[in-house]
Structure 1
Amino acid sequence: MATLAAATALALVFAVSAVLKARTTDEFALFVASLRDYGLRSFRVRRVIAAGAITAEAAAALILAVPVSTLVRRVMVVVSLLLVLTLVNIIRAALGGEKRACHCFGSKDTAPLWLHITGNCVLLTLGAIGVLGIGAGTATPGDALFGAGLGLILGAAVVGSGFLYASLAPAQLAVAEASPRAKL
């Protein structure tokens, strides 16, 4: 059940991430531009890496959505390694004093780096659960439904945390209070 929850959560997160970065040409262009902040100077290289990242996320989401198997556990190893690399880059940026958004979930993703670090730690833990096969095995339909539901909740929490933060950030609240509609 735990492995199913982990696979479901990771599938949801990677599917949403891929879709939000590729849904329009503007979103894709912003993602390509954001890779410059991670030391990639060549536009062509950034474009290829961005397309590859989106493709890898979509493929991982599809594979993780199938019933838990040896293939899913192997994909979780790769996903976990990608999460480690992403986490290292985000921590390196944070230690360097950067406060930029990584556009993990499209251009609207303006969550602070500490929230990205926390989210990636959660995802890495889910990846480890999947790699280790914790709770894998034959499950009753109820257990499978519970595991998939738990995974959807965990995935939605990781995806939604940045959007929730952005909507409740003090700067956003000050703008909302100053708007003419707020006085109605």
Structure 2
Amino acid sequence: MAMNIEHRVQFSEPESAELVAQLQQCGEDLGPDDRHIWFYVMPDKAIEVVHSVSRDTAMIVVKTSHIGSGTPDIELSIATDEVSIAVQIFDSLGFAEYVHRTQNTRHNWRYRGVQIAVMWSQAWAHHAELRVTLPDTAGADEVRAAKALVQSVADELGVRLASEDELVDFIQSFEVKEPETAGN
């Protein structure tokens, strides 16, 4: 398992383009990673079935708490031809009422040890995810250092990280507005 320290940034198209321009100058280009995602968003956890169409990979991710809270994610790689089966399994287990389907246009970068995904989706528009992945055995000091690194990189790149309250409000608003297309 891995522990993801991740934060979201929401911004305009010009701000997204500015971030990409900065990353082209100083970041390591990890390439495109366009995805089809099925999010099963529940009050205390989320399950994702992710098909990376750019990389021809797929996985199931169980987030045992809110985005970026520093708890381990459970990830299972699956074959791309098993994506529809995985979705059917979660739907048949009673999670269909929680599903949000989305397509993300995504490009990944690495800068100063932080993975940065610059994305666009119908629900979130232009946004980014800044993430540091730690082993699930990481201690409190390592988690604090990872959070500080993400904040430092965001500050250096001139982007503002969304607060947990902002994320909760946003997720609740798109669940009401677009239950079949919401996602990040």
Same fold (TM over 0.5): no
Tell me the TM-score range normalised by the shorter chain. Answer: under 0.3
The alignment's TM-score, normalised by the length of structure 2, stands at 0.27
Instruction: Write 1 or 2 for the structure with the bigger share of strand.
Output: 2
Q: Which has the larger radius of gyration?
A: 1
Structure with bigger RCO (C-alpha 8 Å, 6+ apart):
1
Instruction: Write 1 or 2 for the structure with the bigger share of helix.
Output: 1
